[in-house]
Structure 1
Amino acid sequence: MNLQINRTYLLLFLLLFSIEALIAIFVPTGFIRYTLGDYLVVILIYCFAKIFIKGHSNIIAISTLIFSFSIEFLQLSGILDKLNQQLCYKINFRQHFSVVRFSSLCIRHFNNSNNRTY
């Protein structure tokens, strides 16, 4: 894997991070915060990896999917309750399960990457 700074993905990362910050500040609850915010964060993680890693799009997409699934399963299991960390950290871990939107991201990526040549 070649490590380089990809400016396109850097700009996408900064744009998505700004949108996530605005959602966190101005949208306290609801569909946009919980569903759209989670969906954008997966794309944000993918863009962050693509900033530094040239090529290997499928590997990065699968890794992002596995990471996202891991976080969702930890949320589903109530890991913060078990660790008793809710008061120590103000992390917005919601207790819901959303495998479908993470899977759809990877399916879209694989469909797009099969139609292009890198």
Structure 2
Amino acid sequence: MPVNVFSRQPDRKSFLIYAVLLFVIEVLIARFVPSGFIRGFVGDVLVVMLLFCMARALVPVVNVKGEPINRLLHTPWLALAVLLFAFAIEFGQYWGLVDKLGLGGNRLARIVIGSHFDPLDLLAYFVGYLILMGLYWKRN
């Protein structure tokens, strides 16, 4: 069965493709875009969408019979969980999570978890969440 990336009911393979594409875009932004609006804001908007697509690719929302598994994993709830996760990471930056975990000297940990709090990041995460919800409501 071919993967229909642009279907109205995308499957897990479609979300994996979305996640890979968003990851490539994030890497390109981090590598080639100087600090500013695109890198500082758009990158954070996209990271919420990336995390959502990764979760949808990894976690099935229906069982083998096609019946829903758990309402928590449906799009609106999963998107909210991703938003709350992003907020938690950002507040972890405020409280110095990387250093408290003993990973202050680890460059990868400082990149992935982050090392400084920025309230605009919270707004960017929320915008990413709103885009996910807009796509969900448009689809339905």
TM-score, with normalisation over the residues of structure 1? 0.76
Match of 1:23 in 2: 29
Match of 2:20 in 1: 14
CA distance in 1, matches of 2:104, 2:35: 18
SS of aligned partner of 2:35 = coil
Match of 2:89 in 1: 71
CA distance in 2, matches of 1:72, 1:87: 19
Match status 1:58 vs 2:76: yes
For the structure 1 residues 64 and 15, does the alpha-carbon distance in structure 2 shift closer, same or farther, using more than 3 Å as the test? same
* Aligned partner letter, 2:104: Q
CA distance in 2, matches of 1:66, 1:77: 16
String of CA shifts for 1:58-104, please: whole Å, max 9, x gaps. 12101101101101111122323445533233422142122222223
- Number of residue pairs the alignment of both structures matches: 113
TM-score, with normalisation over the residues of structure 2? 0.66
After TM superposition, the structure 1 = structure 2 runs for residues 1-118 of structure 1, keeping only pairs within 5 Å, are 6-27=12-33, 29-52=35-58, 53-54=60-61, 56-83=74-101, 85-90=103-108, 91-92=110-111, 93-95=114-116, 96-97=118-119, 98-117=121-140
| Bigger RCO of structures 1 and 2 (CA < 8 A, at least 6 apart) | 1
CA distance in 2, matches of 1:116, 1:36: 23
Q: Give the aligned CA root-mean-square deviation in angstroms.
A: 2.4
| Unpaired stretches in structure 2, ≥5 consecutive residues | 1-10, 63-73
CA distance in 2, matches of 1:83, 1:28: 29
Deviation of the 1:33 alpha carbon? 2.0
Structure number with larger C-alpha Rg: 2
* Aligned partner letter, 2:89: I
Deviation of the 1:18 alpha carbon? 0.7
Deviation of the 1:14 alpha carbon? 0.9
How many percent identity over aligned positions? Answer: 34
* Aligned partner letter, 2:133: F
Match of 2:4 in 1: none
| Unpaired stretches in structure 1, ≥5 consecutive residues | none
